[in-house]
Amino acid sequence: MVDFETHLLDKHQLEFQGSTGSSGVSDAIDDIYSDTVIQGYHYALKHLVPIPPFISCGNQPKHFYLLLKSSAVVKFQEIRPWCNGKCLLPRSDRKNYIWDLMNGASASSSLRSAFSHCVQQVRSYDYHHYLCLLELPPSMRKAAFALRAFNVETARAMDVASDPRVGLMRLVWWQEAIDKIYAKKLIEHPTAQALSSVISENQISKGWLKRSIEARINDARREVTDIPESIEELEKYAEDTVSTILYMTLQGGGIRSTAADHAASHIGKASGLLLLLKSLPYHASRNQHFSYIPVKVASKHGLLVKDGGRSEILLDSREHLCDAVFEMASVANIHLQKARELAGTVPAEARPVLLHAVPAQVLLDSLRRVNFDVFDPRLSRGVLGIPHLWYQLKLKWNSWRGTY
């Protein structure tokens, strides 16, 4: 890969100086998308002035490169050799490229803003997964951030709404937005715009998106006293809302692997269960109910009270609550173990996507350190209960080793 530095030499010429490096073309997105460069490109193309972007590769010939497609990931395509100071691209072809480039500039700016919004949303509200996405290959990040931002939008819909009905309306809006995206209709929402771009460039299954939003809607329609019967119900909810994001991220990266999908299923279930456990104090403070502890588990540990056909989980004993959390966390641990047992059959290119097992393991270890007391304040420190640096080192270590 090549790093590009941009320099507007004069009003007749725009030159990209190439140098060998390891950070890749994607690291130069900010430079390439700067107003100065775009304007310089437009001026030069408009006046059909030779534009010699080139890469110096020892004795290799210099080649003419042109920005063909405006998107959050810069795409270059070799067109014709640049020979003897003249552009060999036919004049008729130049006009087509000029037209495409000029019309794509404003769309590019809007799309770049949309993806920037996605990155900020994930960084602000899903930080531990944000750090995971930074370990992905640059070619996969665009789809991953758009999908994860969609997950943030739908996961927070009920939490940010003052009235549950408003939150439900927001989720229904997203359900309809997915249909519009696949119908290629314009939606004035940055996350939806980014998602639309990703779907148009990658074969993202509509079924996974619909399954995710429908699970959120069904959960939002539950009464706070409508408690799941078993852990299996929560496992299904976790797969529908978490595993599906991993499935689609694999699709966005062009990865087709049954083993990777199987591992993603287990990781999603583990992550979903553990995050539900971590959220128990929040939901208890919000509606005074522990609606994510299944009836069977609560009854087994003496937390369930039935009154007039209604079931309610009471916090009379912190010890009993810890026992219930331990039982659910043990199920999550089994899923993580099963995912790792598949590591030998998972293709190398899929493993960065499966790094989401790392934050799940970190949260599981943090719960173990506090004896599965979800009210222990240490769980809210740093990232999932451990210092930021230590968390990042864990991610880097697993990324470097190709493990999860």
Checking if the pLDDT of 30 tops 60, the result is: no
Evaluate if pTM is beyond 0.85. no
Per-residue pLDDT, 9:
27
Do 115 and 72 contact (CB within 8 A), yes or no? yes
Top pLDDT among 170 and 32 is at: 170
Per-residue pLDDT, 92:
54
Share of the chain above pLDDT 70, in %: 72
Checking if the pLDDT of 67 tops 50, the result is: no
pLDDT tier for residue 108 given thresholds of 50, 70 and 90: confident
Phi-psi region of 395 (alpha: psi -120 to 50; beta: other; left: phi over 0): alpha
What are the boundaries of each domain within the chain?
A: 2-89, 126-401
For the record, the structure tokens of 292 come out as 């994510």
Please return the burial class of 235, using the count of CB atoms within 10 Å of its CB with bins 0-12, 13-18 and 19+.
Answer: buried
Q: How far is CA 256 from the centre of its chain?
A: 18
How many Cα atoms are found within 13 Å in the side-chain-facing hemisphere of 274?
A: 30
Q: How far is CA 112 from the centre of its chain?
A: 16
78 in helix, strand or coil?
strand
Superfamily name and number for 126-401: Farnesyl Diphosphate Synthase (1.10.600.10)
Top pLDDT among 149 and 54 is at: 149
Average pLDDT for the chain: 79
Share of the chain above pLDDT 90, in %: 62
Per-residue pLDDT, 107:
60
Per-residue pLDDT, 286:
78
Per-residue pLDDT, 91:
55
Per-residue pLDDT, 90:
55
For the record, the structure tokens of 320 come out as 């009993």
Top pLDDT among 108 and 80 is at: 108
Q: Average pLDDT, stretch 114-136?
A: 97
Q: Average pLDDT, stretch 387-392?
A: 97
Find the range with the poorest average confidence among 50-59, 211-220, 295-304: 50-59
Output Rg (C-alpha) for the chain, integer angstroms: 25
Checking if the pLDDT of 248 tops 90, the result is: yes
Checking if the pLDDT of 95 tops 70, the result is: no
Per-residue pLDDT, 222:
87
Per-residue pLDDT, 305:
80
Do 74 and 29 contact (CB within 8 A), yes or no? yes
Q: Give the Å distances, CA to CA, from 58 to 16, 23, 52, 88, 261.
A: 16, 20, 17, 22, 43
Per-residue pLDDT, 32:
27
Per-residue pLDDT, 323:
96
- Element housing 310 (H / E): strand 310-313
- d(Cα 183, Cα 170) in Å, to the nearest integer? 20
Checking if the pLDDT of 18 tops 80, the result is: no
